[in-house]
Structure 1
Amino acid sequence: MKAIKFLGAFAIIGVLFAFTVSKSADVVNGYKVGDVATDFSLKNIDGKKVSLKDFKDAKGYIVVFTCNHCPYAQAYEDRIVALDKKYKKQGYPVIAINPNNPEKLKDDSFENMQVRAKEKGFTFPYLLDEGQKIYPQYGATKTPHVYVLQKTAKGNVVKYIGAIDDNYEDEAAVTKKYVEDAVNSLLKGKEVSVKETKAIGCSIKA
């Protein structure tokens, strides 16, 4: 009887382990540069659903997974606003998505997203990944984590993945502006030179 109970417990542990590994693998195996990103429909802070296809005149998108509570995300908020102001009129709007589970982090609740967006003067959609279904598709692991997409005949192709720039602590000390460089290259019809960097930030809370 003890052997049966032991085997039963072992089997349950095995299933839970397999589920955890599978869930982690889904994140690790998200989009790579060159992949076509599927569209989504997520709730914006104004209560309306937003999809990439809503931006008819867009040439591409700067998709940023970010949130309220993370100090890294907070450090980049002004730079994200600046990216939108600079590139939205050129066809590359910012689309911000909060991937965190609000039941785990009250600071990242929908209501607090609305407050934060107003305080910081967000000029872009700030969407809630309800059910946390979108960030695993992308493979996002941090806040902030950026995906630059280019609209093409075959869909929204991933052209850059990673950090916004090379210094989250001090904007004045930035030497590499990865997202700006990527978008500038695409606007000129050139290949993105740095296609992927390591995103630095807080881990996404599932």
Structure 2
Amino acid sequence: MKKSIKIVSALAIVLLFSAFTLNKTNTNKGYQIGDIATDFSLQNIDGKMVSLADYTEAKGFIVIFTCNTCPYAVAYEDRIEALNKKYADKGYPVIAIMPNNTDVQPGDSLEAMQARAKAKGFTFPYLKDEGQKIYPQYGATKTPHVYVLEKTKQGNQVKYIGAIDDNYQDEASVSKKYVENAVDALLQGKEIEEKETRAIGCTIKV
């Protein structure tokens, strides 16, 4: 009987520890809708450091974790550029961040980023997440992975998380432009209908 009590007690301790560990894991998934995103200072392809605070006139930001080497990210390059051209002047510039470990993915080195940006004519900052400290804060898991932020009195509030649109393969076949719809709603002072979608892309290389 005493042996059974000891086994049950030990099992209870294990379950309690597991529950604590599970809870600890679940609370570290990055930003959720409504959270305030902390600022960062990351190196741009021109060698300068860039922070969200630099954009004093911005109303918000389209933060996109992307890279050179992922086929999904490459498929979206022109659409990312189009987002910046459409919304930067309206107060929502694109801020692109390359989150991959370049030891694992050398095609995403700073030099490669510079060459890609020049070849494609990027008009937005293309930042390197040195030390991979920023993407885990956001909870990004894919390239591309988008976070639309709105400037508020409390800080840069997360308003949308997920994919750029619903068809990475063919822009002409897109039926839902998630990011555009989200930014348009913010500019019009309306509620965003789809605040979160599933990001489609390559896993971030660690």
TM range (shorter): 0.7 to 0.9
Structure 1, gaps ≥5 residues long: 1-20
Could you tell me how far apart the structure 1 residues matched to 2:192 and 2:30 are?
A: 20
- After superposition, residues 105-124 of structure 1 pair within 5 angstroms as 105-124=105-124
**Cα pair distance change 1:79/1:25, threshold 3 Å:** farther
Could you tell me how far apart the structure 2 residues matched to 1:180 and 1:100 are?
A: 26
- After superposition, residues 135-150 of structure 1 pair within 5 angstroms as 135-150=135-150
What residue in structure 2 maps to residue 101 of structure 1?
A: 101
How many corresponding residue pairs? 186
What residue in structure 1 maps to residue 41 of structure 2?
A: 41
Question: RMSD over aligned Cα, in angstroms?
Answer: 1.8
**Cα pair distance change 1:36/1:165, threshold 3 Å:** same
* TM-score, scaled relative to structure 2: 0.87
Greater C-alpha Rg: 2
Give 3-state SS (helix, strand or coil) of 2:196's partner. coil
Q: Indicate yes or no: 2:191 matched with 1:186.
A: no
What residue in structure 2 maps to residue 74 of structure 1?
A: 74
Could you tell me how far apart the structure 2 residues matched to 1:111 and 1:146 are?
A: 24
Structure 2, gaps ≥5 residues long: 1-20
Which residue identity lines up with residue 121 of structure 1 in the other structure?
G
What residue in structure 2 maps to residue 61 of structure 1?
A: 61
What residue in structure 2 maps to residue 87 of structure 1?
A: 87
- After superposition, residues 15-26 of structure 1 pair within 5 angstroms as 25=25
User: 1:41–1:51: 8 Å Cα contact kept in structure 2?
Assistant: yes
* TM-score, scaled relative to structure 1: 0.87
User: 1:27–1:141: 8 Å Cα contact kept in structure 2?
Assistant: no
Give 3-state SS (helix, strand or coil) of 1:147's partner. strand
Could you tell me how far apart the structure 1 residues matched to 2:111 and 2:136 are?
A: 23
Question: How much identity, in percent, do the aligned residues show?
Answer: 70
Question: What do the CA deviations read for 1:39-88 (whole angstroms, capped 9, x no partner)?
Answer: 00000000000000000100000000000000000000000000000000
Could you tell me how far apart the structure 2 residues matched to 1:26 and 1:137 are?
A: 14
1:26 Cα offset (Å): 8.1
Question: What do the CA deviations read for 1:90-130 (whole angstroms, capped 9, x no partner)?
Answer: 00000000000011111000100000000111000000000
Give 3-state SS (helix, strand or coil) of 1:146's partner. strand
